[in-house]
Structure 1
Amino acid sequence: MNKSIVGTKTMVVSPHYLASMAGSQILQKGGNAFDAAVAVSACLAVVYPHMTSLGGDSFWLMYNAKDSKIRAYNASGRSGYKVHSGIYKGEASIPNRGVKSAITVPGMVDGWNALLQEYGRLSFAEVLEPAISYAVNGFPFTKDQHENTEKNIDILSKMPITSEIYTPNGSIPRIGERFVQKDLAQSLRYIAQEGRDGFYKGDIAQKIVSYLQSNGGYLTLEDFADHTGNWVTPLSTAYRDYTVYQVPPNSQGFTGLMTLNMLENYQLDQIPHGSFEYYHLLIESLKLSFRDRNQVLTDPDFSNIPIDRLISKSYAAELAQQIDMQHEQGVASGSMGSDTAYAAVVDQEGNAVSFIQSLYFEFGSAVVAGDTGILLQNRGSFFSLDPGHVNYLEPHKRTFHTLMPALACKDGKPSILYGTQGGEGQPQTQTAIITRMIDYGMDPQQAINEPRWVWGRTWGENTSDLKIENRVDVQTIELLKKAGHEVKVVTDFDGVMGHAQAIRIDEQGFLSGGVDPRGDGLAIGW
């Protein structure tokens, strides 16, 4: 795809075409952006199971046209009341897979309920209908799911219920083969009928907890019954003529604001896009944001996070002075998962929803709980077992979260909705997209299509290298190496860069949508 899709009234973007179609269907049925966003989210949990599930978390950033307010909802789960570092005695870290990694309550269904209760026009049953249909009748197995299944087949094949669903008869379904999830369909039907409580206090909670406890897990019925997400006040900063919003901790969203504050000290439009100076400046700014993030980010109910200082313009000016435009700086990277699904919806009334959801690793914990068809996240495996670490594992605590949907307003109204897949890559790709659109005048599709990079570690890797696509100019790559970057050149449109989506609303009210060519996404506008 080379050009953005343009609409005059509405726009839906997501990393899977069927999810985008579901959002479009709900809008045409009379639903608003909030209804459509929940429909997209539910469909992604069916058609992108390697990236997201009812057993995962989500974060929501939204604009309500009726009161012109920007709000956010934190739909991430907490560790169980009986979960603490002592249960992992003798282990260096929390296991990445299996029941002992599934230690946080899934928050996503609560997020659906919050949006529908507060702003929705349609019922749970109506917005979940497309997702139920895809689960019952199946959908074409995608190349992306095939590649991720192949990548994770060792762990998937060791999980009895999981393997029956995702590697039936010991093999990976063919690309284009019909993929049906009947147990998941039953769970979605139950939620459509019983609502939020069906998941957290009804049969689904009973089944999940029963399965986990029968297999050595730690979550309890009380953990599910007591779960609640939170309406939270978004963080924001001014960048050029825009106000950029992110969700607050336990999300890493503030790193995106810190980076833009640093970049405001430079005239990016005077730095050629794609040059050594362009890449080096953005990468070094992001590293400084990551350095602070790694020291402070956790559940704000357990730690005092100095957010006001971190996202202040004066602190950004101090940090900008630390950037050496000739040499890279040694900043350590944490090892993070990369599975995520970002999507956005804008309706004809002007409502806008930017949201993101995840299981943490591909297929999360790799545990499907009983006959629910629901994959459980392993987000809690990111907690530290070191009592001196800010993200130390404690009961009923939220962990450091990579998910960070973004929204930029101009003159008080939504102008750019953007986000991407990828743990450490989310702030990096977001920064690339927003600067390409604001400073270099690109439309959403061009901003996404231009060559990308990602610095840092993903799980299973030992080095913090700078992965950069081979489409970048050879001379630029050589200058990055000369500056000390540990460069690893990867393929064009490499999947390690994640799947980004974006919507832009111009001064005339026209909407442009872009989706990542690395994924299976679709932008639908009219």
Structure 2
Amino acid sequence: MRDFQAPGRSAIYASNGICATSHPLAAKVAVEMLEAGGNAVDAAIAGAVLLGICEPQMTGIGGDCFALIKPAGEERIVALNGSGRAPKAYSAQAMRDRGLAAVPLRGVDPVTVPGAMDAFCRLSTDWGKLGLDRVLAPAIRYADEGVPVAPRVAFDWAADGPELSGDARKFYLLNGEIPKLGQTFRAPGQAEVLRRVAREGRAGFYEGEVAEDMVNSLRAMGGLHTMEDFAATACTYTDPVAGDYKGVDLVEHPPNGQGATAILMLNILKHFDLAAMDPFGTQRAHIEAEAAKLAYDARDRFIAEAAPRLDHMLSPETAARLAALIDPKRAMASAAPLTEAVHKDTIYITVVDRDRMAVSLIYSIFWGFGAGIASQKFGINFQNRGAGFTLQAGHPNEAGGGKRPMHTIIPGMLRKNGKVIMPFGVMGGAYQPCGHARFVTNMVDYGLDSQAAIDAPRCFSGAEGMLVESGYSPQVRAELAAMGHQVALSPDPIGGAQSILIDDSGILIGASDPRKDGCALGY
């Protein structure tokens, strides 16, 4: 039980259904969908699409999504890949011929075709109960009427707003200025797009006037995108991958997502007695950082749409060999330079309904405001997922026409004794696999409940060195630096998590990260 005299928040207990996500309006709308007779899929779509209006710097209909679904009355987990592809004419060689060593982070070059809207339509058709018209109605209303800018959203907007260019400045600034806390943001163009999708399904987005707006806008900026690229967009069902950690299975999306990285990281951490370490002390932070370096190096070598060496990455033998490289007293240099861009902007939503259908869904435009550009008529903000490709010739993740890039966003689920016990996710770009591993070890090795596991301080050793949150003491930071880590206080909160525990008693327990504006709500 938490200390009620200390700052913090309680987990949410409910019997019928819970949503946990990063903005309270989205959580409210999701619960309203459940109360209206919808299921977890209806609620997750309604909340996720609204998050594109509440947190436009994080996500939107110009982005991608991934989902894990546990059907009602079953324990199987279904994975849906809603990530879009590069245009057919995309070419790594052409970019190398321009003198580029990496796909640019902003502008038209990194824009891949949005995949999320196709996935939402497919999810609604295959699994939903209410239909797209009812599910999209709240987002349409809020896009028309507007949403007050929330505290964390204002913080992010101030940092990411300067990256907006061209028409995006018209749609995502207010009178040319970055919106401030409490100001109202409206997106009437997106409301019209959503009305068309509600009437016509995916054709309202990937064909006709909306698709023409996106294609013409991109081509005017030098893009290679065509109407055929948009019309051909199709999400795909895949089989999840899983790994055991001390009796709990971590279930992840397969590549092109990076979920296998979290499984490899836990497989490495099995070789160390984490439970004997101070959960927020120097040794645990050091071992986790070293495991992350090794797991992420494997990710950069092997994760791609095809991922021909996935079995090698997930094998216990690989983890054992990597664990043997870790010096308990000294930090290694980065295992290898990162070969693709990483950043920290996305949203996550999870819903469990009264029939115990569970949805774990993550939805993103990648960097803050994605590519920083938007369509001319409807103001659709384009993602920069193409920056997840490498330009290294012959690499499995080499940029190419019709390919999906390596993706950072990963929804998760936990399973015990064959039973799904928790959908969860940890936002934060590259941090996500490390965040999944820390969330699991916080609970399994240290006995923290889900809310405490989310609240606890974080650190991450990545391309920018070892970033630690202010929850780590100056002594721990000094000891980590003495071990060779390039330690710095993180300028931003690291990640943002949400989870719902399906308790043995049948009660649902929702937890939500105070690093975001959101909450868990139930009924």
Is residue 2:88 matched to residue 1:91?
A: no
Q: Distance in 2 between matches of 1:404 and 1:174?
A: 30
Could you tell me whether the CA contact under 8 Å between 2:331 and 2:485 is conserved in 1? yes
In 2: Cα distance, 1:15 partner to 1:290 partner: 26
Give 1:271 deviation, angstroms. 2.1
Question: Counterpart in 2 of 1:476?
Answer: 476
Further displaced range: 476-485 or 106-115: 476-485
| Counterpart residue number, 2:385 | 379
CA contact (8 A) 1:149 1:166 kept: no
2:436 is the counterpart of 1:447? no
CA distance in 2, matches of 1:419, 1:67: 21
Match of 1:135 among 143, 160, 183: 143
Displacement over 6 Å in runs of 4+: none
Confirm or deny that 1:210 pairs with 2:210. no
* Aligned equivalents of 2:487, 2:69: Cα separation in 1: 37
Q: Which residue of 1 aligns with 2:3?
A: none
Q: Quote how far apart the aligned CAs of 1:348 are.
A: 1.2
Give the alignment partner of residue 511 of structure 1, picking from 481, 504, 508. Answer: 508
The C-alpha deviation readout for 1:115-155, integer Å capped at 9, x for no partner, is 11221111001111111111011111122332233223333
State how far apart, in whole Å, the 1-side matches of 2:287 and 2:503 are. 28
Answering whether residue 409 of structure 2 is matched by residue 412 of structure 1, we say no
The Cα of 1:293 is off from its aligned counterpart by 0.8
Of 366, 370, 381, 2:376 maps to 370
- Give deviations 1:58-114, integer Å, cap 9, x for gaps: 111111123431110110011101111344332323322122332x11000111122
| Residue 218 (structure 1) shift | 1.3
What is the one-letter code of the residue matched to 1:59? F
3-state secondary structure, aligned to 1:414: strand
Please report the TM-score for the alignment, with normalisation by the length of structure 1: 0.94
Paired amino acid for 2:476: T
Q: Distance in 2 between matches of 1:511 and 1:272?
A: 30
SS of the aligned residue for 1:257 comes to helix
Distance 1:477 1:153 in 2: 32
Structure 2 match to 1:100: 109
Match of 1:242 among 248, 255, 266: 248
Rounded to whole Å, the distance in 2 between the matches of 1:153 and 1:520 is: 19
Distance in 1, matches of 2:121 and 2:73, equals: 20
State the Cα deviation string for residues 393-443 of structure 1 (Å, max 9, x = none). 111011111111110011222212221222221111221111112221212
Helix, strand or coil: the match of 1:51?
Answer: coil
Letter in 2 for 1:149: W
Q: 1:521: which partner in 2?
A: 518
Q: What is the match of residue 291 of structure 1?
A: 297
Amino acid at match of 2:283: E
| Contact 1:333–1:456 (CA under 8 A) maintained in structure 2 | no
Which residue is equivalent to 1:54?
61
Question: Hey, what's the Cα distance between the residues in 2 that align with 1:68 and 1:201?
Answer: 37
CA contact (8 A) 1:243 1:410 kept: yes
d(CA) in 1 for partners of 2:92 and 2:277?
A: 49
- 1:66 matched to 2:68: no
Amino acid at match of 2:387: S
Q: Which amino acid aligns with 2:107?
A: G
Alpha carbons 1:341, 1:356 under 8 Å: kept = yes
Aligned-pair CA distance for 1:215? 2.9
1:243 Cα shift?
A: 1.6
Return the letter of the residue paired with 1:379. R
1:112 pairs with 105, 108, 120, which one? 120
Distance 1:382 1:2 in 2: 36
SS at match of 2:346: strand
> Among the aligned pairs, what percent are the same residue?
34
Structure-1 separation of matches of 2:163 and 2:297: 32
For 1:166, give the aligned amino acid.
Y
What is the SS of the residue equivalent to 2:520? strand
Of the three residues 228, 240, 258, the one matched with 2:264 is 258
In the other structure, the counterpart of 1:147 is: 155
SS of residue paired to 1:395: coil
Distance in 1 separating the partners of 2:288 and 2:103: 33
* 2:327 equivalent to 1:324: yes
Name 1:306's counterpart in structure 2: 309
- Is the 8 Å Cα contact of residues 345 and 368 (structure 2) preserved in structure 1? yes
Conserved 8 A contact 1:9-1:525: yes
Q: Distance between the aligned counterparts of 2:496 and 2:122, measured in 1?
A: 26
Question: Would the aligned equivalents of 2:493 and 2:515 in 1 still touch at CA under 8 Å?
Answer: no
Amino acid at match of 1:110: D
Residues 27 and 36 in structure 1, CA contact (< 8 A), matched pair in contact too? yes
Contact 2:57 2:160 in 1 (8 A): no
Preserved CA contact (<8 Å) 1:420 1:500 = yes
Aligned to 1:461: none
Contact 1:187 1:373 in 2 (8 A): no
Q: For residue 441 of structure 1, what is the amino acid of its counterpart? A: G
Q: 5+ residue gaps in structure 1?
A: 458-463
Tell me if the contact between 1:495 and 1:518 (Cα under 8 Å) persists in the aligned partners: no
Counterpart for residue 277 of structure 1? 283
1:4 maps to which residue? Answer: 11
* Segment of structure 1 superposing worse, 496-505 or 445-454: 496-505
Q: Is the 8 A contact 1:384 1:391 kept in 2?
A: yes
1:231-271 deviation line (CA, Å, top 9, x unaligned): 00000111112121000001110011111112223333222
> Could you tell me how far apart the structure 1 residues matched to 2:57 and 2:177 are?
16
Q: How far apart are the structure 1 equivalents of 2:63 and 2:181? A: 25
* Aligned mate of 2:408, from 366, 382, 402: 402
Q: Which amino acid aligns with 1:115?
A: L
Corresponding residue SS for 1:101? coil
After TM superposition, list the pairs within 5 Å mapping 1:215-230 onto structure 2. 215-230=221-236
Give the corresponding residue for 2:397.
391
Equivalent in 186, 195, 200 of residue 189 of structure 1: 195
Contact 1:424 1:455 in 2 (8 A): no
Q: Does 1:421 align with 2:427?
A: yes
- Give 1:478 deviation, angstroms: 2.1
Compared CA separation, residues 268 and 381, structure 1 to 2 (3 A):
closer
| Partner residue in 1 for 2:498 | 501
Q: Which runs of 5 or more structure 2 residues have no equivalent in the other structure?
A: 1-7
Q: Which moved more, 1:252-261 or 1:507-516?
A: 507-516
Among candidates 32, 43, 52, match of residue 25 of structure 1: 32
The answer as to whether partners of 2:302 and 2:313 remain within 8 angstroms in 1 is no
User: Counterpart of 1:376 in 2: which secondary structure?
Assistant: coil
Q: Offset of 1:456 from its aligned partner? A: 1.2
